[in-house]
Every structure is written in C-alpha cells, then in structure tokens.
Chain A
Amino acid sequence: MTTDRATATERESVDVVLGSPDSGWSGGARASSDFHIARGGFHQAQQNRNMLLPALLALQSSAGWISPGGLNYVSERLGVPPAEAYGVASFYALLSTELRPPRALYVCDDIACAQIGAEQLISDVESFVLGDPEAIVIRSPCLGQCDKAPAVFLQTAGGEDAAVAPADLSIVRQAVIGNFPSTVHPSDTFGNGPSFLLHRVGEIDPTSIAAYRATGGYKALPVALEAGPESVVAEIKASRIRGRGGAAFPMGFKWEAVAGADDPERYVVCNADESEPGTFKDRVLLEGDPFSIIEAMTIAGFAVSASKGFVYIRGEYPLAISRIEAAVAQAEESGLLGDNVYGSDFSFRIQVRSGAGAYICGEETALFNSIEGFRGEPRNKPPFPTQSGLFGKPTAINNVETLANVSQIVLQGGEKFTSIGTAESTGTKLFCLSGAVEKPGVYEVEFGMTLGELLEIAGGAKGEIAAILLGGAAGSFIGLDAVDLPLTFEDTQAAGLSLGSGVIMPFLVGVDFEAVVQRIASFFRDESCGQCVPCRVGTVRQEEALHRIASGRNPDTLNEEFVLLDDLDRVMRDASICGLGQTAGTAVQSAIGLGLIGGSS
C-alpha cells in the first residue's frame, strides 16, 4: 500500500456514501481502544465490498480522478486490498486512475452520431478547449441519445454529471460553465396503436407519484398482493412475455425458477445498463415513467419472495438515475416500498446503483460482479442467475422494458396479453430508430409489424437506404430486401437475425461503410472485458484486419483478410465466455455478406 493520504474533500465524499468510519481500523481517527481490539476482518470486508463502486464513483466525482490517496482511503474503509480496488477502478471508462483536467467532455463518435456531425463537433469542441488546462475531450461510445445526435456527456470534478443532446458548440460552451439548456429535449415517442409502455412518457410529471397514481399507477401492486405470489408468476407465464434485453428468454420461467429456489435469500435486479449502440428506449422509460419500473420490481420481488432489489443504471444516464432515486424515495414515503408494502406483510427495498462506463456490465453476470464490487467480468454459465446470481443467490434479472410490461399483465391477466403481437412474440415492443430516418425516436408497436411498415411510420429514410443495422452493434446489417421481415423474435431468428435491443438504424447510399464497420469493431475491442482469449485478442485482430482492408485495397490479400475475419468470427462465437465476444463479429460478417466493405471503390 502506498503512503498517500486522501484529501479532506476526498474523505468527505467517500463518507457521504459509506457513513463515518467507526474506528481506526476502518480509516477513522485512532482511539486508544483501537490498539487493543481488532475490528473488521474477512466477513465484514465481504459484506462491505459491494460499496466499492459507489465509493469510487464518489471519489471520481469529488476529485476528478481516483488518486492513490483516495484509493487508499476507500481500501481502508472497506477492507478491500488496494491492488484489487485499483483493478476495479481501472476497469471503468468513467473512472480515471490518472490525474486529468477536472472537466471531461465525452463526445460520442459512435455510429449514429457519426452520421450526424460527430466529427465536426469533436473538432469544434477540441479547438474550444485547446489550451484550457481545465478540460479534456474524450471520444465516447454510444451515449444512448442517438435520436438526438450528436451527444455529449460531461463529468465535472465537484459538480454534477450531465448529458447534452443534441449538442453543438454553443450548447457545450454553456454547459461547461454550468448552464444547461433550459429546455431539455426529451426523446420523441411514437406509436401506432394502444400504448402500454409509453403512455405516460412525456404526458405526466415523472417526479410525482401522485401523477403516476392518477394515471393508473400502483393499481397492479395491490392486485398482485391480493392474488399471491404463485398466481402472479402464473399470469406472467401465461402472458408468454419474453425478455426485451436481447436474449428473449421467457420471463415467467425465470421468475418461476427463482420463486421455487431452495435458498430463501433471493434478489430482483433491473438491468438498466443500456449501452448497446443505437439503444435508448430504457432511458426514455426510466426518465419518463420511473414509478412504473419501481412498481414492477416490487411486484417481481413479491412474486419471487425477494426482499431486496437493485436497479443498475449506466453512469452516462444521470437524469435517469436521479429520477429513479427520487421515485424510490417517494414510494418509500408512501408506504409502497420498504417495510410492509401497502400494509401487507411483504417488505421490499430497492437500491439504485450507477454503472461507471462499461458496456459489458449489461451482461447479467458481469452486472452482478459489478454490483458486488468486483471487475465487471462475466461469469461462466451455468450456473444461471436463477440458481446463483447476485451475491451467489437466486436472482430474477430483467431488462427495464421487460419489467415495464408487468403491471399491465397483472391487471389484465396473462391470457389477454397474448392477444397482442404474435404467438411467439406477445405484446408490444419498443424500437429505437435513429440514423437516417425522418423521425428518430422510440416507437412502440405491436410485434409482427414489418420493418418496412415501421420505417414508414417513422417518416421513411432521409434518402436512399443502402443498409439497415438491426439489433445494434451486436446485430446485423440487412439490405432493403428485408423490408417485409416481420419484427418478431421468431421471424428474425428464422432469418438468422436478432431483434437485439430493438435498434433500427438505416444508413444511406454513399455512407462510408468501412468506417462504420471499423467503429463497430473498435467498440467491441474497447468494451471487451479482456477475460477470455478469443474476445480479448480476437476483437483486436478483427479491427486490424478491417483497417488493412480499408487502407490496403490489395486484391491479392483481400480474400485472406476475409478468411481471417471469418475464422475470427467463428472462434469468438464458439469459444468466448459471453455474448459480447460471441456477437463481436456478427455485424462485420453481415457487412461483408452484403458487399458493403472490401469493394474496389
């Protein structure tokens, strides 16, 4: 351990999160009794470890970096070895283990923003902060604001984090000195029929529980409490709803497995890490209808007999975090969360956790590790989360959008829910339209609508479409011949595609697809946790090959590069630990298949 000490500011910021130290053994002032009694020990350290990431985030936010002194203080407070705490801190993009200027401007240069002026914005912002020792510009992967591209995320030492979109130089200038645009531009939401998920978004005050209740909120919870856990699980099963986070796993089976687990200690987790490039639907729900997620989690907790839930929200969503935190607080005040929910003997608490810049932490087991205070490295499956999830306990983890359906299923019954959508894809689905569409935003439509129909509702493309990215960076490019594809789990699967997180991003003729595909490849290289060889090295080799293709144009070696890319895709798909590596070559392969790259232009 280095001998560096934390500054008073650093200590205070950590104490806000951890409370004051109770003895010299945990970083406090030494009392004479501390020389006689040892406090702490392994078990306490184990219990405290899950506060590591919140404490590191507090350090980052107060000091602008994770200093050696600050890290030492956190280590002492929590009993986490400094090397391990450093291993965790250096994992996350929003934590800096090097001293840097107090203001960090993360400018998105990912695939949606890149089409809408990201490079111009980056060079504008760079020349604006040039010579300013107080600020630094950092290129960022997708910030989840793609419909309002280009986007910027601001991290200020001693200040609040903020997302700004759409951003231009004058807005960024103002934001840097603390003047945020007076009119925030929430995402536009659209639909073509009855809306179950978006009906409150933009319509009610998301900070008011009264407004939520006045629009049908908290009607489902008492119904669930009255019906009992088994029948809630039965209704969810009957609805045949499948997960909206990417894997499309039936929610009812998950809940049933957790409800029937041997271990009485269980958890409910809401996965709000939403970092798949092109995705912003969960943010819209969290910001626009936070109570619906809290109510759904409470019902989930009741159904699986859990007493604790966690919401893990990506760190780049400060507004979503504060809205959800406020919602939790109001629900507690109103007796709808905490001890004896709604006067019943069911007690349930929710903790809100912020991510710190890591796409991989959306993978469910990496998310557990992240909450537990370890590096966000996925675990090998099996065991599955329903058997051994958060803190090694049976855990029901669901995506924000999946949870947003719960109240309606409880209220109308699972059977009724199946009347919407198709046989295998019940209900409505949120799609994130961005890129070259006339009306970007979040669309709620019934499963079964075709891609072409949805594009039409979105006002069509801004020009002639060359290809559409379906499902996000982990998804595939498809050609215009796919416009008749019904947007369902079964139809996309049959076509060898995936709905993923609901991304639909059209690209126009004339777009430099080599640049787009390289950006996707570098996204995976950056976001790989680095644990397993196929993904850690494979994503690097993939990116290198794409660079060579883009720069070389040597027809003799082009075939070799394609063979290599195919080999890399295969080994990443077959031998990687988690879905990140397994899909890291998918978009690249689809682009090659469509002839979007490697041409002789």
Chain B
Amino acid sequence: MSKTHLELPSSLIEIEIDGSVVTAPKGSTILEACRGAGAEQPTLCYLENLTPVNTCRVCVVEVVGSRALVPACSRPIEPNMEISTDSERVRHSRRMVFDLLESSVDLSLVDDSTRSWMERYRIDSPSDDDSTEPSGERVDRVKSYHVSHPVLPATVAQPVKIEDDLYIRDYAKCILCYKCVEACGPDAQNTFAIAVGGRGFESRITTEFDVVLPDSACVYCGNCIGVCPTGALMFKSEFDLRAAGRWDESSQTVTTTVCSYCGVGCNLELTVQDNEIVKVTSPLDHDVTSGHLCIKGRFGYQHVQNR
C-alpha cells in the first residue's frame, strides 16, 4: 500500500535469499524482501494496492522446510528463512506456469517486464546459450500443447464484449488474476459488479447471469481497467485505435494533471495521441487515489476536446 505508515519502523529480521543474508522488516512478504535486496521476481496477480490473492503462481520460490513452493507475493518472511528464487524447481514451475498461460490465453498485450520474464523462462530458448539462460535444464522439454495434433489445446478464446462506448472486455486475454474483481469490490470501489463465476477451466469474470455491463451494477469507474495486467479490459478509445492499426505508443504523451470535477484532488495521467485523450489513469502510488478514480475523472474528458 502507498499509505504512510505511522508506526516506527518495525524490527528487522534476517533471512537468506539465494545464499546471501539480508535483513528486511518484520511483516514483509518474501517479494518485498527480495525487492529490497534487489532481486526482482515476476508477478501477475500481485499489485501493491490490492490484497494478494496468490493465484497466478509465477512468483513461486523455494523455501527450505516447505514441501511445495510458496508464493513470494503473499508469504510473510520468518526469521532465518532460506529462500531460493532461482533453483531448478523454481525455474521449472515458472516456465510451466508461463507456458500454461501462453497456451490458453492471448498474452499479446502483457507489459514489457512480464514479456522479459517469459523470455527468460521460455521453453524454446536457444540451448547453446545456457550459461546465461536459466530456462530449465531438460533438453527434451516440450510445450504443453502440440499444435500439429488434431486435438487442439483448449483455450479461453471468445468474442470481445463491446457493450458501451467506454470500455471493452476481451476475456480471451484474461488470466483470471482476480485483480478487477478486487478493484471493483472490497479493495477499492465496493460496487461488486463483477465476480468470478463457474469453476475450473470454465471459470470466468462475469456479471450476474452474464448480463451486459450497462444492466449490471457497474458504475464505470474504470478501476478494473486500471489494474488489468493483460489488456483484457481496455478503453474503447484504445481498442478502436488498435483495431484500426493506429495505436502508436511512440507518438503518445502522458500529461499529469489534477481532476477538476470535485475537491478530492485525484491525480490524472492523460495519455494523448494525435492531440486526443485516448486513456486516463492515475498513479498507483498516489496518496489520494492509489490508482483508482471515478467515472468522471476516468471517462469524463470529452469536454476538453470540444474544439
């Protein structure tokens, strides 16, 4: 969380990460301790401003004494914990998790950091360079699907849901990280318009009986869009530009401003392309918003463009 902690710094405890002894504040998670020690870990379902749900499992690490691997993003550290973030088991699991996701979900729009983690663990990395590529030791690795085979692997491919002019839901890109549900629910918006429905591979993010968003409880705060890591939830403006092949990040600028609708003081980041606002976000670490906005700040920018 970005909230200022009023207590004195809590006591430090010692743990071992990949062979080096480091100290970290009591109560931190393994992920926080790793980051403090400069050892970044991949994450997908974790976000600073949401309660960890630890469902994606890309952040798993090996902890001595624990039979299964543990999720770094949510497990609190304990004194003298011995953690490996790069053991063969860790690399194997991370590679497989990415592989399982890639084979079932459209990951084309994940951020650069996730992409580079995928590269690092990727299955078909050149084996001549295995001194630097810790992508798993087996020579006979296979992908979790065999495209040449008549039985095609199941995927979550489905049509995009376009139900209004504000944002679209493309669940073919959904990795079920639960972030949107948390942002819509108790972690930010408390609207509870969407939930996880179904079970197993049939699980999906849904409104009640899958009614269209305008018929649901949705108030169009767009906080779900703000936390989605895969581009499954997207401003309609961005979606249309992408569909037309005109989305061009290199020509975009981001302007930070303060929302003028009310006195709360939310910071807005306006992404502008060709002199048009194409998307509005707020910084995750902003004291007032923690990244969350309301419909006015998020979508009420048309008047700016009335020329």
Contacts and interface: CB of A to CB of B under 8 A. Distances in A.
Interface of A: 1-2, 68, 71, 81-87, 90-92, 97, 358, 375, 380, 382, 525-534, 536-541, 544, 547-548, 551-552, 557, 559-560, 563-564, 567-568, 570-571, 573-577, 582
A86 B197 contact: yes
Nearest to B105: A537
Contacts of A568: 96, 144
Interface string B136-160: 0010111011100101011000000
B194 interface: yes
A2 B199 contact: no
Interface stretch (B161-169, B211-219, B232-240, B293-301): B211-219
Interface string B202-228: 110011110100011100000000000
B104 interface: yes
B103 interface: yes
A71 B200 contact: no
Nearest to A542: B144
Contacts of A528: 199-201
B68 A576 contact: yes
Given A1-B217, A91-B199, A533 B208 contact: no
7 contacts: A526-B199, A530-B176, A531-B53, A534-B100, A539-B201, A541-B153, A577-B55
Given A525-B201, A531-B55, A540-B201, 4 more contacts: A2-B211, A530-B203, A567-B92, A574-B60
B258 to A, nearest CB: 31
Contact of A86 (B89, B200, B206): B206
B6 to A, nearest CB: 24
Contacts of A538: 96, 100, 144
Contacts of A2: 208-209, 211, 215
Contacts of A532: 54-57
B100 to A, nearest CB: 4
Contacts of B22: none
Given A2-B208, A534-B57, A82 B103 contact: no
B196 interface: yes
A575 B93 contact: yes
Contacts of A525: 200-201
Contacts of B202: 530
Contacts of B195: 81, 83-84, 86-87
A570 to B, nearest CB: 6
A577 B96 contact: no
B62 to A, nearest CB: 9
A358 B199 CA distance: 10
Contacts of A547: 151
Contact of B209 (A84, A86, A536, A540): A86
B93 A534 contact: yes
A446 B141 CA distance: 46
Interface residues of B, number: 55
B192 A575 contact: no
B83 interface: no
Contacts of A537: 100-101, 103-104, 144, 201
B89 A536 contact: no
B53 to A, nearest CB: 8
A83 B206 contact: yes
B39 to A, nearest CB: 19
A531 B75 CA distance: 17
B68 A544 contact: no
Contacts of A358: 199
Contacts of A559: 140
Contacts of A551: 151
B77 interface: no
Contacts of B58: 533
A489 to B, nearest CB: 16
Interface in B21-73: 53-58, 60, 68-69, 71
B54 A83 contact: no
A376 B145 CA distance: 29
Nearest to A87: B195
Given A81-B217, A97-B209, A533-B55, A375 B100 contact: no
Interface string B87-115: 00100110011001101100000000000
* Max count, chain B CB within 10 A of own CB: residue among A86, A97, A551, A570: A86
Contacts of B53: 531
Contact of B175 (A86, A91, A533, A540): A533
Contacts of B216: 1, 83
Nearest to B89: A574
Contacts of B201: 525, 528, 530, 536-537, 539-540
A83 B199 contact: no
A536 B57 CA distance: 11
Contacts of B175: 533
Given A2-B211, A567-B144, A582-B68, A83 B217 contact: yes
Nearest to B215: A2
Contacts of B154: 540, 544
A561 to B, nearest CB: 8
Nearest to A534: B57
A68 B103 CA distance: 35
Nearest to B201: A540
Contact of A82 (B96, B101, B185, B208): B208
B144 to A, nearest CB: 5
Contacts of A544: 145, 151, 153-154
**B145, B192, B201: most-surrounded residue (chain A CB, <10 A):** B201
A528 B201 CA distance: 8
A380 B199 CA distance: 18
Given A528-B200, A541-B153, A564-B142, A81 B192 contact: yes
Contacts of B9: none
B274 to A, nearest CB: 37
B100 A533 contact: yes
A541 B97 contact: no
B97 to A, nearest CB: 5
B2 to A, nearest CB: 24
A570 B89 CA distance: 9
A300 to B, nearest CB: 28
A1 B192 CA distance: 11
A528 B145 CA distance: 20
Contacts of B206: 83, 86-87, 90
Given A90-B199, A534-B93, A575 B144 contact: no
Contacts of B196: 87, 375, 530
A78 B104 CA distance: 37
B96 A571 contact: yes
B118 interface: no
Which has the most chain A C-beta neighbours within 10 Å: B96, B146, B192?
Answer: B96
B199 A533 contact: no
A81 B190 CA distance: 10
Contact of A533 (B97, B193, B197): B97
B151 A527 contact: no
The winner among B71, B104, B196 for most chain A CB atoms within 10 A is B196
The 3 closest A-B CB pairs, nearest first, are A87-B195, A81-B192, A530-B203
Nearest to A75: B208
A83 B207 contact: yes
Nearest to A97: B209
Nearest to B93: A575
Contacts of B176: 530-531, 536
Given A83-B206, A533-B55, A567-B144, A90 B198 contact: yes
